[in-house]
Structure 1
């Protein structure tokens, strides 16, 4: 599996402590006993938050990894807190662990309303570097409505990670047929190769995802492309003993060859 796919989860104790220090506690001193803090599952009291913000609590305080209170609100789907933070100047572009924004976290967890709020407030649907974009995340986790929203806000359909993985690669690898359809219908490059030479069809064949293979073939995916190890999608499926996928690709290739012969006779 592609190592870039897994985004680290927050250590909830650390994150809640950061939020407590940034919002629920006065900025001059934290409590001496962490155990005196509320449990992480308890929702912040909005009145307390508002009061402390008025008294100068640092709305953009960060953990060592860069997590802010808005990251916390985004991951937990707390749209009321997120809206309050944004209205009071929270940085919607703040990055956690070098590149995860609040939008990434809202997308990962499937919080549609929060995704819309962040985009409406100017969150960038595209990364500034070749990193895992919000659309990559929606494609991987099969959040169809969120993917559509991101595309509406001009998310790059063919955004690539540093290793050349596109959202279509990820939806194909995970077997998400409807997501693959959505991306293709919005212009995704169907035979894009990543740093390993894999196309989305290779990705689907590698895991035997018949539903995605059919979709890609129906939209003209090139079955002759070889990856850097010399495998075509068919030979890759055969090598990995995905027999049904191998048969489907073989039949498609045979049919295409017969059509070419018929054309020239």
Structure 2
């Protein structure tokens, strides 16, 4: 059993098969996948939390990025205490520790990173231009989004294709997130590449009342 088989079982969400492969060949936990990321990060990106937790048990030394993605608070805090400057470094695939913690919904960890100097307005370095606030809103996480905004996150930053946080919140139909963003200065008039407003995305998803609210404010 090699890395290709491990990758295949991670993608399939087969916990027992992943465990069997790692028991037979523990070193695979520390071998990069074809996506040029670790098996643990791959499991996180596929939203396979149980599998990610399992792989973490076989990983020799979790990186700060892996710890932030999988939500291992103790490992992440230790890494930051040992190398404080790492809070604003980038993973091999271009994300910051804070961006990963926000995207995967690890609120306590995200708060810790901000407390330790993580830049809430530092975008990913991989062509996607994803800011932590984009990750928090995409995760549909009110608490982390509020924490970022309270810490000075800009509400109108745009990632690739001109997608602002309000576009995503509108698309999700999350009225609490929408109100939070509006209260912090999010602009309803921001257009994506192609010209779509947040109201347009809400309407496309069937959230017609939200679309009207956003249009009324326009």
TM-score, structure 1 length as denominator?
0.59
Equivalent residue number for residue 142 of structure 1: 105
Is 1:152–2:120 an aligned residue pair?
A: no
CA distance in 1, matches of 2:65, 2:151: 21
Is 1:104–2:65 an aligned residue pair?
A: yes
CA distance in 2, matches of 1:201, 1:149: 25
- Measured against aligned partners, the alpha-carbon deviations of 1:136-169 in whole angstroms (never above 9, x if no partner) come to 2211222111001111222221222321111111
Once the two structures are TM-superposed, the CA of residue 223 in structure 1 deviates from its matched residue by: 1.1
- For structure 2, the residue ranges without an aligned partner over 5 or more in a row are 1-9, 40-51
The higher radius of gyration belongs to: 1
Contact kept? 1:144, 1:179, Cα under 8 Å: yes
SS in 2 for 1:160: coil
Query: Pairwise mapping of residues 107-186 of structure 1 onto structure 2 (< 5 A)?
Result: 107-122=68-83, 124-128=86-90, 131-161=94-124, 162-186=127-151
TM-score, structure 2 length as denominator?
0.71
Aligned CA RMSD, in angstroms, stands at 3.2
CA distance in 2, matches of 1:158, 1:164: 11
Once the two structures are TM-superposed, the CA of residue 16 in structure 1 deviates from its matched residue by: 4.9
- Higher fraction of helix: 2
CA distance in 2, matches of 1:189, 1:210: 19
- For structure 1, the residue ranges without an aligned partner over 5 or more in a row are 1-6, 23-60, 69-73, 91-100, 254-265
CA distance in 1, matches of 2:168, 2:64: 26
Contact kept? 1:205, 1:245, Cα under 8 Å: yes
Query: Pairwise mapping of residues 29-44 of structure 1 onto structure 2 (< 5 A)?
Result: none
CA distance in 2, matches of 1:181, 1:203: 15
SS in 2 for 1:196: helix
Query: How many residues were matched structurally?
Result: 185
CA distance in 1, matches of 2:20, 2:64: 21
CA distance in 1, matches of 2:130, 2:22: 30
Contact kept? 1:106, 1:114, Cα under 8 Å: yes
- Measured against aligned partners, the alpha-carbon deviations of 1:19-45 in whole angstroms (never above 9, x if no partner) come to 4x69xxxxxxxxxxxxxxxxxxxxxxx
SS in 1 for 2:160: coil
Once the two structures are TM-superposed, the CA of residue 17 in structure 1 deviates from its matched residue by: 5.0
1:232 pairs, out of 166, 187, 197, with 197
